[in-house]
Chains A and B, each alone.
Chain A
């Protein structure tokens, strides 16, 4: 790597910035690994917690998290896809509907999570009578992640190449047919990537789930049961239960691994997509 003499200043500046960014973040992950890796084993992932969570494992928490995510996705995939299809198919980007949708979804995306916690607690848990339940937690998370889903799906749909639209027109496909057979398959990796990003955002949420899905450590029996998500467990172990810090670090590592796996999945999917639809084979 040769650096032009004029670039010495820029190189130093940017390298300093780079190091300043990387060091604390890697330090944090290493501290987490140091505290949590001993004791991280398969038993930890499937066993039920005992002694207020200090011993045993996090099996029920993983199940609760999966259920909450399931509820969240079941809510945002239809609504998010529907909205993005509507935006890309039926309205132009300058119409009042599009600008209102854009604005309101942006506001929702930028709203502090504690406001959603208040809203979820008041609306889903109390007004709708769901109580502290996985359903309430999942629906509140859905409200939070919907903007992200709509935005990424819309981008994916708009990025479908013109040739495919033209091919659909040439084959005299109806609009439902075009959407189902051409657009959705073509945009699917992008949409899935958006879903996975929403999952990532939802997994990291703590305050909202504290107020809506509750603390109960047991394996949930139904969607109306309270269940503790992984992020809530990390918080409880670190802040409420004496001697719980190692468990908190271990759970955080599990969460991180999940995020890594999800990210790897996204990359593979996007790579495939590029290869299939955008490769110019001459």
Chain B
């Protein structure tokens, strides 16, 4: 075969693969839109998005309470896990002796591969009773936040750790030569350089927290209401889909797909913001 033909076929194959990958998003979004079409009429849509009453049997499909719960849980879990993850990575890299660091790193990667069911089970069996002894019922916003934070922690630590490697390699010796303290090295030398990557990676975890289903179903209480306090049970959009998908028909089915579409939209906007700021992930 001639060289040009080889090269053409190569280009063709690779471009088709890339085309397939690039077009993958479209069926997903399209399917969500198609399945939630009946509820996309302006009046019904507004009703769904602003009402907090979720009573499928009576025809009320208000998503507001669940949207608030989803966003609140994810934001709080992120607020808890991000600083801890960053500080943990700093501790690993700057304060711990090298031997211990090398032994602890595999732990993070291992924990990143645990199914969410396991976290949920631990929450159900250990965390919820603990919270229950302070404030019944135990399965609450707080439990969901803690379990989610636990799930995000390994990833935040991994991301920060990876992001810190390059600045450490380049600048650590200079900082040590200048007798900068360890905390000072982090704050003044490493953080400015790694900040963009770290923040980008951590914001990705928000998306992951938003999408967490099984663990939340087990510990959040699943009552559709606005949380009045940290100890009130709540239901997230994802938990709602998981609980009711198998049992839904007609408009109920459509409402569940609508909540999936809402989740998708939040992700779309989030990713757009990240990409726009040019953060390397």
Which residues does A use to contact B, with CB under 8 Å? Answer: 1, 3-4, 6-7, 9-11, 13-15, 17-18, 20-22, 24-28, 31-32, 78-83, 85-87, 89-90, 97, 99-119, 121-123, 143, 146, 150-151, 174-176, 179, 200-201, 203-207, 211, 231, 234-235, 238-239, 248, 252, 255-256, 259-260, 262-263, 267
Contact = CB atoms under 8 A, between A and B. Distances in A.
Interface string B90-103: 11101111000000
B205 to A, nearest CB: 10
B18 A97 contact: yes
Contact of B109 (A13, A25, A117, A263): A263
Contact of B17 (A79, A179, A205): A79
A175 B10 contact: yes
Interface majority SS (helix, strand, loop, mixed), chain B: helix
B67 to A, nearest CB: 13
B260 interface: yes
Nearest to B7: A175
B267 to A, nearest CB: 5
Interface of B: 3, 6-7, 10-11, 13-18, 20-22, 24-25, 27-28, 31-32, 35, 83-85, 87-88, 90-92, 94-97, 104, 106-107, 109-119, 121-122, 125-126, 150, 153-154, 157, 181-184, 186, 204, 207-208, 210-214, 218, 238, 241-242, 245, 256-257, 260, 263-264, 267-268, 270-272, 274-275, 281
Contacts of A255: 114-115
A234 B117 contact: yes
Contacts of A32: 118, 122
A1 B109 CA distance: 26
B211 A174 contact: no
A204 B116 contact: yes
29 contacts: A4-B182, A7-B181, A17-B84, A25-B111, A25-B154, A28-B122, A31-B125, A83-B21, A90-B14, A97-B22, A99-B275, A101-B22, A104-B21, A108-B24, A111-B263, A112-B238, A114-B213, A114-B238, A118-B31, A118-B245, A123-B31, A200-B112, A207-B213, A211-B245, A234-B118, A235-B117, A248-B117, A252-B118, A260-B106
B5 to A, nearest CB: 10
Contacts of A27: 126
A1 B268 CA distance: 47
A17 B91 contact: yes
Nearest to A111: B267
B18 A86 contact: yes
Contacts of B87: 13-14, 17-18
